[in-house]
């Protein structure tokens, strides 16, 4: 029987590359697409030798063409870390609006089922904890995070419209903070920031007083949840994340213990609109998908730390960010 064909956008990124691995393992023909704005081909280098993998270097905010049949589309292309989307706000808004429109149009003509990567950021700085899917959120549209949060909210609305108006088979996953190998050391997210600082012998920078909370999910658990949701019949958003909530101050202490660094915690101002609490209510995922996370933080952090330690000294020292100044003008 011919292999099923899946298009994965954002394939060279952290999550996209793990999804490529999973669909290769399931014996799909995988078509990766990425414009490499925050991704790295090194994440999928090992797949290029396979006959059931191909790659398009393409910006999905422009018209997307893929020859042949498509059975599934996973739309994961988007800057994802606060540092990235603050540096490239217009690209972020474009991929969340023009990009999703192109991908939904493609899903429609190919009669493919599409899943889109949404985020816990649709809940903004939430007034309820944990956050169930029914919570509509508390988002500042004109604050610095608005470019990401509102793009993702629009993406959900557009996806539901294509489902109800055009009958496209759609799925929406709301992803909570996920970590693991292949995160970019300089993407500014808290885990690579802390581990990078420990490895370079710098103090760990906690923003605010460290009382804000997050709940960290290991990447393999997330990928399993996404796979199950894609194969399910459920069209409304589903939270996938690990409900084990921790303050950022405690998290810094865990990283200090894990890495054995002699450095200390230093405090920096809390960025504007930084959510004070975040924890997924995963009742739906449990009931609909029979899914819950399996990897606890101690295990997941150890694997991730080993990955960062295996990087070259050069990669570790290279913490400056790419020059994004031209992208903003497009």
CB of 14 to ligand NAD, least distance (A): 3
Task: Provide CB contacts within 8 A for 319, sequence distance 6+.
Answer: 185, 186, 196, 200
Q: Which of 56, 135, 154, 207 binds ligand UDP (CB under 6 A)?
A: 207
| Residue 56 annotated as catalytic | no
Q: Are strands 53-57 and 72-75 parallel, antiparallel or unpaired?
A: unpaired
Q: SS3 of 314, please?
A: helix
DSSP annotation of 250 reads H
* Phi, psi values for residue 32, rounded to 5°: -90, 145
Q: Which of 10, 82, 99, 241 binds ligand UDP (CB under 6 A)?
A: 82
Scanning 54-62, 164-172, 207-215, 218-226 for contacts with ligand UDP by CB under 6 A, the matching segment is 207-215
| Chosen from ligand NAD, ligand UDP, none, partner binding at 232 (C-beta under 5 to 8 Å by type) | none
- In what order do the strands lie in the sheet containing 29-34? 53-57, 29-34, 5-9, 72-75, 113-119, 170-175, 238-240
Contact track, ligand NAD, 76-95, x by CB under 6 A? xxxxx--------------x
Spatial separation of the C-alpha atoms in residues 37 and 283, rounded to whole Å? 35
Does residue 12 belong to the site contacting ligand NAD (CB under 6 A)? Answer: yes
| Chosen from ligand UDP, ligand NAD, none, partner binding at 12 (C-beta under 5 to 8 Å by type) | ligand NAD
Angle between helices 219-230 and 14-25 (to 10 degrees): 60
Question: Per the omega criterion (within 30 degrees of 0), is the bond before 130 cis?
Answer: yes
DSSP annotation of 11 reads T
| Chosen from ligand UDP, ligand NAD, none, partner binding at 80 (C-beta under 5 to 8 Å by type) | ligand NAD
Nearest to 144 by CA among 86, 78, 183, 64: 86
Q: Which of 169, 203, 271, 324 binds ligand UDP (CB under 6 A)?
A: 271
| Chosen from ligand NAD, ligand UDP, none, partner binding at 37 (C-beta under 5 to 8 Å by type) | ligand NAD
Q: Which of 32, 82, 99, 130 binds ligand NAD (CB under 6 A)?
A: 99
CB of 263 to ligand UDP, least distance (A): 13
Does residue 139 belong to the site contacting ligand UDP (CB under 6 A)? Answer: no
Does residue 186 belong to the site contacting ligand NAD (CB under 6 A)? Answer: no
Nearer to ligand UDP, 32 or 126 (CB): 126
Spatial separation of the C-alpha atoms in residues 111 and 71, rounded to whole Å? 7
Q: Are strands 245-247 and 213-215 parallel, antiparallel or unpaired?
A: antiparallel
Binding site for ligand UDP (CB under 6 A): 81-82, 177, 188-190, 193, 205-207, 212, 214, 248, 271, 274
Active site residues: 148
Binding site for ligand NAD (CB under 6 A): 9-10, 12-16, 34-39, 59-61, 76-80, 95, 99, 117, 119, 175, 177-178
């Amino acid at each position: 029987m011919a292999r099923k064909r899946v298009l994965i956008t954002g394939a060279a990124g952290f999550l996209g590359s793990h999804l490529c691995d999973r669909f290769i393992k399931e014996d799909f023909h995988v078509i990766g697409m990425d414009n490499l704005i925050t991704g790295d081909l090194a994440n999928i280098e090992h797949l290029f030798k396979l006959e059931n993998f191909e790659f398009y270097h393409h910006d999905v905010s422009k018209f997307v063409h893929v020859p042949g049949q498509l059975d599934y589309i996973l739309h994961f292309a988007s800057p994802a870390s606060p540092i990235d989307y603050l540096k490239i706000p217009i690209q972020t808004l474009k991929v969340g609006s023009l990009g999703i429109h192109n991908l939904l149009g493609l899903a429609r003509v190919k009669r493919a089922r599409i899943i889109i990567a949404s985020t816990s950021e649709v809940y903004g700085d939430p007034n309820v904890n944990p956050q169930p899917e029914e919570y509509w959120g508390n988002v500042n549209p004109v604050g610095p995070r608005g470019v990401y949060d509102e793009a993702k909210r629009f993406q959900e609305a557009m996806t539901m419209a294509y489902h109800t108006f055009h009958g496209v088979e759609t799925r929406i996953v709301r992803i909570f903070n996920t970590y693991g190998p292949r995160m970019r050391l300089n993407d500014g997210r808290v885990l690579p920031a802390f581990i990078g600082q420990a490895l370079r012998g710098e103090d760990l920078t906690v923003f605010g007083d460290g009382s804000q909370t997050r709940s960290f999910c290991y990447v393999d658990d997330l990928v399993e949840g996404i796979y199950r949701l894609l194969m399910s019949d459920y069209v409304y958003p589903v939270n996938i994340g690990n409900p084990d909530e921790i303050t950022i101050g405690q998290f810094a202490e865990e990283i200090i213990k894990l890495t054995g660094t002699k450095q200390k915690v230093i405090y920096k101002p809390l960025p504007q609109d930084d959510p004070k609490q975040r924890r997924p209510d995963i009742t739906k995922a449990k009931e609909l998908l029979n899914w819950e996370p399996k990897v606890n933080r101690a295990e997941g952090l150890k694997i991730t730390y080993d990955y960062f330690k295996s990087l070259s000294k050069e990669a570790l020292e290279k913490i400056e960010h790419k020059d994004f100044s031209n992208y903003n003008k497009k």
